[in-house]
Amino acid sequence: MLVMRLFRSLFRLLMLVVGALIGLGLFVIALLGFVTFLLISLLTGRKPNLSFRVNKNPWAGHKPPAGDVVDIEAREVTDAVPLSLRPPERRSPQ
């Protein structure tokens, strides 16, 4: 019983250490990528462009540009009858 408890504790400790090492490794990789990106930007003289364009619906197809542009003549309609704001009259049931 004591051996199983000791084995379980050592296994948990091993998993904790392995998880910490994987997390630390991913952090170091991200840090190296950022430093490389920053150094390349400094050496080329360009400002780092950290803004990303996010498509709200990535599955939507791209719309083709409008083919024809139509120029119309607009005119104002002055003879329009204003709508009544009264509620409609109720009909009596037949």
CA angle 71, 74, 77 (to 5 degrees): 160
One-letter amino acid identity for 89? Answer: E
pLDDT tens, the chain, 94 aa long: 888 999 999 999 999 999 999 999 999 999 999 999 889 888 988 777 766 666 666 666 666 666 777 788 888 877 777 777 888 788 877 6
Contacts of 68 (CB under 8 A, 6+ apart): none
For the whole model, what pTM was predicted?
A: 0.47
The Cα-based distances of 14 to 10, 11, 41, 76, 89 in angstroms read 6, 5, 41, 80, 82
Inter-residue contact 41 to 48 (CB < 8 Å): yes
